[in-house]
Amino acid sequence: MHSPSSSEPSRPFLTWQRILDWATEHYRCRSFSKDERIPTRPGLLYLVQRGAVRLVGTAQISSSASQLMSRRANRTPEEAFLGFVGAGQPFEIVAQSPFTLQSYAHVDQTAVVWMYWHDLDNWPHFRREVLDAFRYQHQRKLLWLSALGQRRTIDRLLGFLTLLVEEYGEPSVSEEDPEVLRGYYLPFPLTHAQIGSAIGSTRVTVTRLMGKLRQKGLLINQGDNLICLPASSVNLLRS
């Protein structure tokens, strides 16, 4: 498995520290509170220093063109959850019709650093890592599209959750015996409405189908309403 963060663990850390120093010195970093929008501009590169960023897409078109004006006034446009960008990972937002991409702090104290691409001329190795990270993210999105291509909503849901936990999961151990691995859980909260917006479904349907998955033992309970999958069904990417 190609994982940009696993190659040469020592050097990236040094470079990373140097980049953070540079960003502080040039006022190119900022901290955001939970669900605060992170303003972005095309052509700029963003790095998540701490916390997690949530990418969201908004549709500008609708098949019900004639009702467009009246409906737009009455409802918020449909937002789709497009994934997380974790600490140490880069992201960029290239605005595009007919959809608009936006980024939000997913947890409190999410810190983001930004730069122009040409600023990376000073750190050619780091530029290479950033580009490799985008290669990796691209491959993950292809898998995500594979999940969303499935006809049954419950299959889309399970595929989607499995991919997220594979990428960001933390081990969940049994309360009685900390030696026993129950499974892996997603350390970020994710509402049923957000899950629905990712898989083309509704909050109500997601709640119902998650109950079904729980009954089948394909989803297990975890504190704080976090999502947890049994260890047998997850291949952690960072192992």
Could you list the residues that contact a second copy (CB under 8 A)? 1-2, 42-43, 55, 57-59, 61-63, 65-66, 78-83, 92, 94, 96-99, 101, 128, 131-132, 134-135, 137-139, 141-159, 162-163, 166, 196-202, 212-213, 216, 218, 233, 235
| Residue closer to a second copy, measured from CB, 10 or 97 | 97
Q: How far is the CB of 143 from a second copy (least distance, A)?
A: 5
In the sheet where 99-105 sits, what is the strand order? 37-38, 99-105, 52-59, 79-86
Report the alpha-carbon angle 100-133-115, nearest 5.
Answer: 65
d(CA 95, CA 235): 34
Q: How far is the CB of 179 from a second copy (least distance, A)?
A: 26
d(CA 225, CA 22): 39
d(CA 118, CA 150): 41
CB 35 within 8 A of CB 104: yes
Q: How far is the CB of 86 from a second copy (least distance, A)?
A: 16
| Residue closer to a second copy, measured from CB, 12 or 159 | 159
Angle between helices 124-148 and 10-25 (to 10 degrees): 100
Q: How far is the CB of 156 from a second copy (least distance, A)?
A: 6
Q: How far is the CB of 44 from a second copy (least distance, A)?
A: 12
Q: How far is the CB of 78 from a second copy (least distance, A)?
A: 5
| Residue closer to a second copy, measured from CB, 31 or 102 | 102
| Residue closer to a second copy, measured from CB, 19 or 210 | 210
| Residue closer to a second copy, measured from CB, 26 or 37 | 37
Angle between helices 124-148 and 153-168 (to 10 degrees): 160
CB 188 within 8 A of CB 168: yes
For residue 101, the cross-strand partners are 57
d(CA 206, CA 158): 10
| Residue closer to a second copy, measured from CB, 155 or 170 | 155
